[in-house]
Structure 1
Amino acid sequence: MATPFKLLINDYQRYVRAFQLYLERSSEHQCMQDFIRGILPDILASIGDGKVNLNVMGIGSGAGEMDLEMLAQLHMKHPGIRVDNEVVEPSSEMLHKYKALVSETSNLNYVNFTWHKMTASEFEEHWKEKNIMEKMDFIHMIEMLYYVKDPEATVSFYRSLLNKNGKLVIILVSEESGWARLGRAYRSKLCKAEISQCVTTGDIKSFLDAKGIPYKYYELNSQMDITECFTEGCEEGELLLDFLTEVIHFSKTAPPDLKAGVLDLLRHPDCSKEVDGRISFNSNLGVLVLDP
């Protein structure tokens, strides 16, 4: 049954406020940066292969902070190589922020940016209609598979674009995270049927295993302070609840039994730990690395 709730992603201003608060309360960006700086360079070591130019594609790049981190690591690993970077992002606001970040960042003269205000599905259609034969050396998808209809088909298509030494890197909530447990418990009540909102690394692993597609997997440990979610009427707590459930004004619009059930699960030891009166939610991410 379709959920009657309105998705948080459809209210850009509230989504941005909730997302910024999430970043302040969580270690998500830190764990991503640790991966990008510590592990990703070795993953990207083989893609140069004597080339003078590399083709990179970011799907759902948002405001570009992590994209530029990855480009910097790629440049350090392959100095002197030029990069053609395809940016695919449906939000005009996010693209504007990305372009502003590029203009403020020095030492990007080795990158040529091409901007596409499209969803992943729209870009796939564009690619097929134009019959583009170009291959990619590095494609990354950071937490964007939640917003496609068929994540397995999306992964398959973009993997098909890889050069022989190319790499596809997918970052998604871990199947061991509190997000995954929340999704499993309340998928039918919170998740929209038209997108794969509750997908986790476990779902993608199952698909890859069934197809016999090899991959490497990395677990990224991340925690989020959700203590304020349990203070009735706390504006920041309500914003965090919106982000956790992806529902606009969840605290005010959810039926009492659903709200109570979600709060109980968020506090459950399967999802969170309580230390010194603070409640820390397991917001682990997982990274899947695929070859062509």
Structure 2
Amino acid sequence: MASILRSLIGDSNRYLKALTLFKKHTTLYRNTYDFIDNQLPNIMPRNLNGKSHLNIIGVGSGSGEIDINIISMLRMKYPSLKVDNEVVEPEPQQIHDYKDLVSQTPGLDHVTFNWNQMTAEVFEEQWKGNNMTKKADLIHMFQMLYFVKDPGATISFFHSLLNKNAKLLLVLLSDDSGAGKLVKNYGKQLRNNSNDEISYLTTAEVKPLLEAKGLKYRCYKLPAQMDATNCYVEGNEEGELLFDFTTEVHNFKKSVPPELKAEIMEFYRHHACSLDANGKIQFNLDSEVLVVDRV
């Protein structure tokens, strides 16, 4: 009988510990901030100069770093703009950390934060139940569509909340990233019928969903990597947590059967998944930003 693999997100404490380490060892967040500063201003609707108010929805906002970067960029470009920011995040500690970040960040007096400690699905249910008519000028989902039951339905709902000419930003791993190759080759075995809280998907699965719905989008590359060197140091706790995070398997090294674990660890390190240079193993986390328009 195949061993049962537990999803990492089922253990909130371990997930947050792994996430903290991931942020420390990856270039994904730094490169996302660069994208926000250098490319997002040219993506935003051109009529913002004539607006006094902007509605934003962050779905899966985590501890808020990306949200605050977006808001700060908009403040610099449109200093008179008032912002209403809906935060959708199910994890209590993440909401707590986000509020701490807000309290420590100067220059946010022009922003109203609305806290929604819930999943995207519950947010949708409540929004519809309350017959909300509010529309958004920007909705962003950074690396979160893995955690919804029906990505296509989630995209459709949030796209329906956009104003005319507004933007929906979807950020996911690209199919040709190391993580994408890992998912393609070992996703079913890692899921093993019990890892149902997550979906192993990349932009290769999301683009056809958009096209089937007739939604126009543009694609921007977001290169990234993670220092996975410690993953190959026996008994290294950081390495074990990073393996957990990138496979989404709780206690990957201890719970995955030995033969499969050895095969995955070998694949993870080679097969164009990682670059081994100067004594460091850099796991490829290249992502893509899909900008979906509301016309």
Q: Pick the TM interval, shorter chain.
A: over 0.9
Relative distance call for 1:47 and 1:143 in structure 2 (3 A) is: farther
Bigger Cα displacement from structure 2, 159-168 vs 195-204: 195-204
Cα distance in 2, alignment partners of residues 274 and 85 from structure 1: 41
Worse-superposed segment, 30-39 or 8-17: 8-17
Aligned partner letter, 1:201: T
Instruction: Structure 2: state its 5+ residue gaps.
Output: none
Match of 2:72 in 1: 72
> Is the partner of 2:50 in helix, strand or coil?
coil
1:13 offset after TM fit, Å? 1.9
Residue 157 of structure 1: aligned partner: 157
Shift of residue 268, structure 1, vs aligned partner: 1.5
Distance 1:27 1:256 in 2: 30
Structure 2 Cα separation of the partners of residues 145 and 113 of structure 1: 22
Partner of 1:279: 281
Classify the secondary structure of the residue corresponding to 1:48.
helix
Name the SS for the 2:83 alignment partner: strand
Write out aligned runs for 1:125-164 (5 A). Answer: 125-164=125-164
Q: State the partner residue of 1:240.
A: 242
C-alpha distance in 1 between matches for 2:211 and 2:72:
32
Kept in 2: contact 1:150–1:196 (CA 8 A): no
**8 Å Cα contact 2:7/2:197 also seen in 1:** no
Instruction: Specify the SS of the correspondent of 2:200.
Output: coil
CA shift for structure 1 position 277: 2.6
Output the TM-score relative to the length of structure 2: 0.94
List aligned pairs for 1:107-256, cutoff 5 A: 107-191=107-191, 194-256=196-258
Alignment correspondent of 1:6: 6
Query: Residues of 1 paired with 2:137 and 2:2: CA distance?
Result: 39
Amino acid at match of 1:33: Y
Q: Deviations over 1:85-129 (max 9, x none)?
A: 111111111111111111111110110111111100000000111
Instruction: Give the Cα–Cα distance (whole angstroms) in 2 for the partners of residues 34 and 49 of structure 1.
Output: 23
In structure 1, runs of 5+ residues without a counterpart are: none
For 1:2 and 1:205, locate their aligned partners in 2 and report how far apart those are by CA, in whole Å: 33
Q: Which amino acid aligns with 1:239?
A: L
**CA distance in 1 between partners of 2:261 and 2:196 (Å):** 23
Equivalent residue pairs, number: 292
Q: Is the 8 A contact 1:182 1:265 kept in 2?
A: yes
Deviation at 1:49, TM superposition (A): 5.8
Q: Equivalent of 2:262, from 260, 279, 290?
A: 260
| TM-score relative to the length of structure 1 | 0.95
Distance in structure 1 (CA, Å) of the matches to 2:196 and 2:230: 31
| Preserved CA contact (<8 Å) 1:273 1:281 | yes
Cα distance between partner residues in 1 of 2:47 and 2:69: 17
Contact 2:90 2:117 in 1 (8 A): yes
Residue 86 of structure 2 corresponds to 86
Task: Kindly report the root-mean-square deviation, in angstroms, between the aligned alpha carbons of the 2 structures.
Answer: 1.7
Equivalent pair of 1:8/1:242 in contact (CA under 8 Å): yes
Secondary structure at the aligned position of 2:250 is classed as coil
User: Which amino acid is the alignment partner of residue 164 of structure 1?
Assistant: K
Mark the CA change 1:8 to 1:204 in structure 2 (over 3 Å): closer, same or farther: same
